[in-house]
Amino acid sequence: MKFDTPAGQNPIDAMRVVGQPLDRIDGPHKVTGTAHYAYEWHDVTERAAYGHVIGAGIAKGRIASIDTSAAERAPGVLAVVTAQNAGKLGQGRMNTAKLLGGPEIQHYHQAIALVVADTFEQARAAASLVRVVYTRGRGRFSLEAEKDNAVKPQGGDTPADTVVGDFDAAFASAEVTLDETYTTPDQSHAMMEPMASLAEWDGDKLTIWTSNQMIAWGKGEVARTLGIAPDKVRLVSPYIGGGFGGKLFVRADAVLAALGAKAAKRAVKVALHRPLIANNTTHRPATLQRIRIGANKDGRITAMGHESWSGDLEGGGPEVAVQQTRLLYAGEHRMSKMRLATLDLPEGNAMRAPGETPGMMALEIAIDEIADKLGMDPVEFRIRNDTQVDPEKPERPFSQRQFVECLRQGAEKFGWDARKAHGSVREGRWLIGMGVAAGFRNAPVMKSGARVRLDGDGRVTVETDMTDIGTGSYTIIAQTAAETLGLPIGSIDVKLGDSDFPASAGSGGQWGANSATAGVYAACMKLREVVATKLELDPATAEFADGKVSAGGKSVSLADAAGDGQIVVEDAIEFGDLDKQKVLSTFAAHFAEVGVDVHTGETRVRRMLSVAAAGRILNPKQARSQMIGAMTMGVGAALSEELAVDTTMGFFVNHDLAGYEVPVHADIPVQEVVFLDEADADSSPMKAKGVGELGLCGVPAAIANAIHNATGVRVREYPITLEKVIGGLPDIA
């Protein structure tokens, strides 16, 4: 199905099933332990062995020698895989570093060996017997130290620099100006389920049960790395225990499990232990950001400049922290730049809302700061600088933009009019403040396919390689099929996460739900046509409702179309260039109230609200869950999350959940979410967009701005820990 003109009226608009707050259909499997995660496939193969990954003990240099003999003689050991005996390996297009290092080492904890044994304990014990001698090289581990050596990044989908008008002149002549620098730290995905895989060979065919967000991408990357044909690779990933972008690409667990299984001639399980999640896999890279804003005294922005520096391994890409600034606020004269430094730290790559998350952590503090300088309410300042067109390309309007309505409804619901001057509200030992920030994330789409089967019992099975990373994909796909075919949701079976199924968008980038359901819609519409034709009904006028197909005064059970067999159809949604004609974006207004302990500087978030405009909401219950999860992640980004870099040895020191501090239940107050009524016909036949990343974008800045309102202390370096606040608090008698 081609989608190259705005959607008209279609079966989804009935919203008998789509748009309803239904419970997750996969919920019973998850609470009864019958949902199989990557390390839990105990019944698909006999006598699976266990692999333990050894990570490099240096960040830069070479392996001078590696002695595996003692490990090979250890009890239960079946094989030890290294770059010396693994055979020729390629490199995936989406990996910056090799997934099996040696002799050259590109970063700390790069995988250099896998020990395979009958039990996990035997593999781990034997791994301690491997002796590695390194020749250490000189590495670059500090973004601040390498800032002046950063260069304009080449390639990629996002231009490094943009210029509109004359920023320098407009900024110089502005009546009120802001020129500040902000920093965001390296952050870890810290998902609940580690990267894990079970691999088995059947002759020259490889099956990997794994934890991966993008099955079609992963299948291609495995084939490319191992040097085998893609049709010899099958990836299976029906349930994923969190990913946040860290599982978009194949990681070392999958490749090493495959190599280990070949060497041991048995199926092999590999899970990356927690320190390897921080140092072996990807992370959100740190940024340095300079923001300059010029405005007239009436509060209108005349000059907007945003520059960002980030680092990655050689051959990597930048954190695109300026991209939201190019679209979010009006202003005739504009400038944005990104610069990339080469660092020998573990690979920087996509983490939930890459670009906008760190970019808005800086931008939305800067917007508050310029509003303060103007003496304007920060909500009203944002409203005054709204734009309905792309500021860099005014001929390109937004398909829908209810940003102002998000701000106004949010301010009213949150009680924003009760906000007082900075540092003026106190309850006992707590200084109280409110903060606001914009939320923004584009709504990309991607070709997505599905296969639909109708059987003689009237049941429909949907098959697509779309994944469920805790987001509710099973349920919204079932809702889509039920709505399109006029069936109750209980008549829909959904099978996901298998590369034998048609390729979908996968989970990531806030494109998954909209694209994947649109692909299912396309397949179901094709099934409608086949069914109506078989029943000798007019496909153009046939109505599908209550398990029946009706047209021209004739009504037939949907099950009768299949008879004793099945009707199987397959189709995909293919998107045209509507996203080039208009800007497809999602918007939110995030509000936070905090208390700051006047004695210690400790911050506690007291309440939060997000009001979002994100297209048609396919399942409000699940969408709310996505939003509050992202808001919780925003609390961590604001107050605690930071990978501490050892700039001498080149690794992340706090590489476990004891040292990398994510929010816990006690840190999270009541969170409210409001969705504005919206259906975007330019987006897809579903008229949806996505919320998975929008709920995070801007939240840390709302908390930072609330801390400033509570205390009068402005912190521009995340996370906002107590030692950064306490020096500016009032003296205690």
Pair type for strands 603-613 and 585-597: antiparallel
Pair type for strands 460-463 and 448-455: antiparallel
**How many other C-beta atoms can be found within 10 angstroms of the C-beta atom of residue 722?**
14
The three-state secondary structure class of 108 is coil
Residue 165, φ and ψ in degrees, nearest 5: 70, -150
- Tokens 């980030």 correspond to 310
Q: Give the integer Cα–Cα distance in Å for 216 and 146.
A: 37
Q: Which two tokens stand for residue 254?
A: 């999958």
**How many other C-beta atoms can be found within 10 angstroms of the C-beta atom of residue 300?**
14
Q: Give the integer Cα–Cα distance in Å for 163 and 382.
A: 22
Q: Where does residue 2 rank: exposed (0-12), middle (13-18), buried (19+ CB within 10 A)?
A: exposed
Is the dihedral angle over the CA atoms 89, 94, 95, 100 positive or is it negative?
negative
For 421, residues 6+ apart whose C-beta sits below 8 A from its C-beta are none
SS3 for 452-520 is: EEEECCCCEEEECCCCCCCCCHHHHHHHHHHHHHCCCHHHEEEECCECCCCCCCCCCCCCHHHHHHHHH
User: What's the gap between Cα 616 and its chain centre?
Assistant: 20
Please report how the helices 699-711 and 620-639 are oriented relative to each other, as an axis angle in degrees rounded to 10.
50
Q: Residue 126: enclosing H or E segment and its boundaries?
A: helix 120-127
Active site residue 693: yes
For 71, residues 6+ apart whose C-beta sits below 8 A from its C-beta are 77, 80, 115, 126, 127, 129, 130
Q: Which two tokens stand for residue 698?
A: 């801007």
Please give the C-alpha separations between residue 307 and each of 175, 182, 215, 291, in angstroms, as whole numbers: 22, 10, 35, 6
**How many other C-beta atoms can be found within 10 angstroms of the C-beta atom of residue 145?**
12
Residues 698, 608: contact at Cβ < 8 Å?
no
Please give the C-alpha separations between residue 404 and each of 124, 386, 401, in angstroms, as whole numbers: 56, 7, 8
Please state the length of the chain: 733
Q: Residue 64: enclosing H or E segment and its boundaries?
A: strand 61-67
Q: Give the integer Cα–Cα distance in Å for 170 and 644.
A: 39
Residues 686, 606: contact at Cβ < 8 Å?
no
The three-state secondary structure class of 399 is coil
CA-based nearest residue to 54, from 109, 121, 8: 109
Does a cis peptide bond (omega within 30 degrees of 0) precede residue 719?
yes
Q: Give the integer Cα–Cα distance in Å for 589 and 702.
A: 9
Question: Helices (H), strands (E): how many in the chain?
Answer: 18, 32
Does a cis peptide bond (omega within 30 degrees of 0) precede residue 397?
no
Pick the catalytic residue from 602, 693, 717, 723: 693
Residues 104, 62: contact at Cβ < 8 Å?
yes
Q: Give the integer Cα–Cα distance in Å for 358 and 285.
A: 9
Residues 279, 645: contact at Cβ < 8 Å?
no
Query: Could you list the active site residues?
Result: 693
